[in-house]
Chain A
Amino acid sequence: MSFNGNGLQDIEGKVLGSERLSFADGVRLFREANPLQLSTWANLVRQRLHPDDLVTFVIGRNINYTNVCWVRCKFCSFYRLPGAEGGYVLPREEIFRKIEELLALGGTEILIQGGLNPVLKIDYFEELFRAIKARVPIHIHGLSPAEIIYLAKISDLDERECLVRLKAAGLDSIPGAGAEMLVDEVREQIAPYKDSAAAWLSLMRTAHQLGIPSTVTMMYGSVETVEQRVEHLVKVRGLQEETGGFRAFIPWSFQPEGTHLPNVKRASGLDYLRTVAVSRLMLDNIPNIQASWLTQGPKIGQIALQYGVNDMGSTVIEENVVTAKGAVFMIPLAEIERLIRDAGLRPARRNTRYEILDVA
């Protein structure tokens, strides 16, 4: 690839004119645009959507309530099969303790995620969410579509009913995890037991219709092609056009270490920045693009602020799913703020609804 970028005037014209980019445009951006072009155009779009130059973050923590899961995704090194040694379900006291710690640090969001554990049915989550909400007014961002689809199934509920009950119990929003690549040929290779792309999108559609917003991720850098990455972006954009329920898009790279796909080469920082920028350009209807510090580290994470990123996500206190893979980067809040300022931008704390709480 030479990225000479000379034939991209039509795409540049669309970016300047705020016109929607096509599937073919996305593929050409990946294949032909050089990093400086991508940065220039993605920056333009970021500034158009966020003219105040604020870069936001939320103080939150992950609570991985169980690691028991039967899905056997090849890219995961976190799970334990049901009955296997090392499987756990966090006791409720432990969950409360984690929340108290977070509140003491000024946190506003808990991200509750785990595995597909056959013994945890709807009543477990209803009781847990109600107990949390009865104690503290924390935002519950939890349960990925895969968890909810499975939960509905083992609880003999349809998905809508399941979501209605979760919402009534206190679920505020849904993380966009498990989207991986919303392309079945890729899903069959990396996560054959996971739901189809259509099932993932359908669950999100229902959630958005019920007033439960979400984020959406993309795990790139495993076995997919550039065309499949763009297909993912186009599908996400299509659903957003319908529901408006996605608050942020979060691309992150597959971490091959310790997984069942050990021969995949880890995607480069350049590939990350390119993917972030093309996402910013393609997803004209999603307001926020979130950085993935955990997988990219502070240097590339900061440079991403010139490639379309306007949000640093959660200042994660712990992330068992990634750290189980031998990764990676823990960055204190003060350092995140320093990196944002060093990039000439202004750090601001937000809540999960992306409302600004204070400008640091």
Chain B
Amino acid sequence: MRTMLDQLRRAGLDAIHDKLQDSRRLDFEDGMRLYRTPDLTAVGTLANLVRERRSGARTYYVRNLHVNYTNICNKLCKFCSFYTPPNNPDARGYVLSPEDAVARVAQYSGEPIREIHMVAGINPKLPYQYYLDLVAAVKAARPDAQIKAFTMIELAQIARVARRPLEEILPELKAAGLAACPGGGAEVFSDRVHEELFRAKLDNEGWFEVARAVHAAGIPSNATLLYGHIESQEEKVQHLLHIRELQDETHGFMCFVPLAFDPSNTELAHLPATTGYANLREIAIARLLLDNFPHVKAFWIMITPPVAQMALWYGADDIDGTVNHYEITHALGTSSHRQVMSTPELLDLISEAGREPVERDALYNEIPAEPTLSERARTGQA
């Protein structure tokens, strides 16, 4: 379309368009150009070319359930409103026993949950056996669902309390039922930001080492970027290029998830919330720079459902899911602060955007849609 090419030229993005046409890789300068241009539509148009080349109109969603097994955490990250410290926990402090977690999961026994997402604080009092028991108990309660659990930060802690190398404990966790790892805890791979906001946390090189071990153990994972706090555009581009490099090495990442920082109730509460522009731009740039990632996710809980719906045209081919029982942050900018979406609502949202909903499991295997009554009648099925 003529206007698109004109627009890309005006936005100074035609060279990037040429690279994409030849499937050539974008570099640091390209990334910076994508952040600097005010023309969000041009950036979205480029990202959508890549998105449609990879996934067509397909948009993945999952029926999932979150279990945040403890909020006690010794990392004291300034951007977090979820934790309470271990030496002086407040009244909110809790640990779910494996039985508690099973009880939580049992509340959803009537629903075809495919993914159970378990992440939590770094609670130094929990022994290695706790994690094995937690995974095994939840898996036994819901054998039909896959467990996606433990960020790289939690896995480093689990290895520490086990006093054994990751290479040994990962197969044990896998045998207990761990199918995949989420991508959280990556934050921003910048020593400056690390020092300033999350100095107690595993450092950047440490995150990479754990991710390497996870992928080597045959456990796929996601990766994230926490944006909208003190990070610079340069730091974001570097972050994406680091992740891309690691993916070249391991091919273990399934999906990239830009996470919008929610300043409310954190030590950074003076910062403004992320804008709709920023939400769409981060998704688009991730889609463009991460040419070796199969999927990019619009996490509607953090960017609101309307923006997540728009993101399906700005590079995202995954919209997460029903997200039952999520507790880490609260959706911004919605009048109702709703935290759960029903499957019909999700399907509507995807279809209204002219996209094709595809149900997936935690490993992005497609779940065949159940035939409708009229289809059953046609094919003569009972």
Contacts and interface: CB of A to CB of B under 8 A. Distances in A.
A300 B332 CA distance: 12
Interface stretch (A40-48, A104-112, A199-207): A40-48
Contact of A338 (B1, B41, B272, B352): B272
A248 B45 CA distance: 29
Contacts of B45: 36, 40
Contacts of A306: 40-41
Contact of B41 (A16, A39, A297, A345): A39
Contact of B275 (A269, A270, A302): A302
A222 B1 CA distance: 34
Interface stretch (B127-135, B218-226, B303-311): B303-311
A303 B280 CA distance: 9
Nearest to B304: A299
A269 B307 contact: yes
Interface residues of B, number: 37
Interface stretch (B2-10, B23-31, B65-73, B319-327): B2-10
A342 B277 contact: yes
B310 A270 contact: yes
Contact of B38 (A16, A327, A344): A344
Interface string A96-139: 00000000000000000000000000000000000000000000
A343 B38 contact: yes
B151 interface: no
Interface residues of A, number: 41
A243 interface: no
B268 to A, nearest CB: 16
B140 interface: no
A89 interface: no
B79 interface: no
Given A39-B41, A306-B41, A2 B280 contact: no
Q: Main secondary structure on chain A at its contact with chain B?
A: helix
Given A270-B306, A303-B277, A303-B310, A1 B354 contact: yes
Given A16-B3, A299-B304, A303-B307, A36 B41 contact: yes
Contacts of A228: none
Contacts of B365: none
Contacts of B275: 298-299, 302, 338-339, 342-343
A306 B256 CA distance: 25
Given A2-B57, A37-B1, A300 B352 contact: no
B84 interface: no
A35 B313 CA distance: 7
Q: Main secondary structure on chain B at its contact with chain A?
A: helix
Interface in B176-222: none
Nearest to B49: A36
A34 B304 contact: no
A324 to B, nearest CB: 14
A88 to B, nearest CB: 26
Nearest to A33: B354
A36 B313 contact: yes
B165 interface: no
B279 interface: yes
Contact of A303 (B38, B276, B335, B354): B276
Contacts of B306: 268-270, 296-297, 299-300
A193 interface: no
A270 B352 CA distance: 8
Interface string A161-192: 00000000000000000000000000000000
Interface in B1-58: 1-4, 7, 37-41, 44-45, 48, 57
Residue with the greatest number of chain A CB neighbours at <10 A, chosen from B3, B352, B353? B3
A116 to B, nearest CB: 29
B310 A298 contact: no
B89 interface: no
A36 B48 contact: yes
14 contacts: A9-B1, A16-B2, A35-B310, A36-B313, A39-B41, A40-B3, A40-B41, A44-B7, A297-B306, A298-B273, A299-B307, A300-B307, A327-B335, A342-B277
Given A36-B45, A302-B275, 6 more contacts: A15-B3, A36-B48, A44-B7, A299-B307, A300-B310, A339-B275
Interface of B: 1-4, 7, 37-41, 44-45, 48, 57, 272-273, 275-280, 303-304, 306-307, 309-310, 313, 333-335, 349, 351-354
Interface of A: 1-3, 9, 12, 15-16, 34-37, 39-41, 43-44, 268-271, 273, 296-303, 306, 326-329, 335, 338-339, 342-345
- 8 pairs of A and B residues whose beta carbons are closest in the complex: A344-B38, A269-B306, A299-B276, A3-B354, A39-B41, A303-B276, A35-B313, A302-B276
